Structure 1
Amino acid sequence: MVENKKIVQLAAEACDDKLAEDIIALDMKNVSLIADYFLICHGNNERQVQSIAKEIKDRLEEEGIHVKRMEGFEQARWVLVDIGDVVCHIFHKDERNYYNLERLWGDAARIPLQIGMEG
C-alpha cells in the first residue's frame, strides 16, 4: 500500500505538470475526520481544471492507486478527487477565492511539496 504522503506528492506533481496554480497540501489529521490530507490548487479555465483532475487520476492509477470517485468534473468549477485518506480539490480560479478552503481549514499545517524544481 502506498503511503498517503506519497499519494499527495504524486497528485501534486500531476497538478504541476498541468500548470495548476498555487498548489498547497494540508495535513488534516488533527483537524478533520474527512481526510488525512487535502491537496488544493486551481486552474484558469474549465478545460484546465478538467485536465488537472484527469492527470491526477491517470497518474495515480498508473501507480496502482485507486481513485474512489471524482465529483464536479462536468462543470469544472470545483472538482473533488477522492483517493480515500487524500482528497484533492481542483478549483476554477474564480471559485477558489470564494470557498477559500485554506482559511476554512486554517488550523491545518501545510506540507512542503517537491514540485516545480526542474529547470
Structure 2
Amino acid sequence: MALDECGLIFALVGFVFLGLGLKLRFSDSTRAIFEFETLNSSEFDMVVTVLIIMGSVMLIVVVFGDNGPLLTFSALVTILAGALIVFGVIANSRKDEIGLRIAEFYSSIYLQYLANGDPALADTLTFIQELT
C-alpha cells in the first residue's frame, strides 16, 4: 500500500529530523562538541538527541501506520501525544529556564559556525531564527 500525501509529508519530516540529527552528531565540524567536556555542550547534545529520536519515531509511525495493524499505530501516536503533553507542561512551567537554554544553545552553535563555517550549522541557525 502506497503512502498517501499526509504519510509522505510525515516520512519526509522524519527523514529530515533524523538526517539533521545524525549530521550534527557525526559531522567533522561538530565532533569536537561531543568529544570535549570543556565546551559545555549539554544543550547541543540534548537537541541533537531529540532530533534523532523524533525522526526515528516519526519513521516508525509512518511504517506501522500504513502497513501494520491499527492498534500498533494508535499506541505509537498515543505515546507521541503523551510525550508532547508532558514536555509541553514541563516547558511551560520552566519557560524562563528553557529560554535561557535555547539562548545558550544558539550561542554555542553560532560560535561553532564562526569557527568552522559548516552549512549544516548555518541551516540550524536559520531554523532557530525563523522560530522567533
Give TM-score scaled by structure 1 length.
Answer: 0.32
Give TM-score scaled by structure 2 length.
Answer: 0.29
Radius of gyration: which is bigger? 2
The structure with the greater share of residues assigned to helix is 2
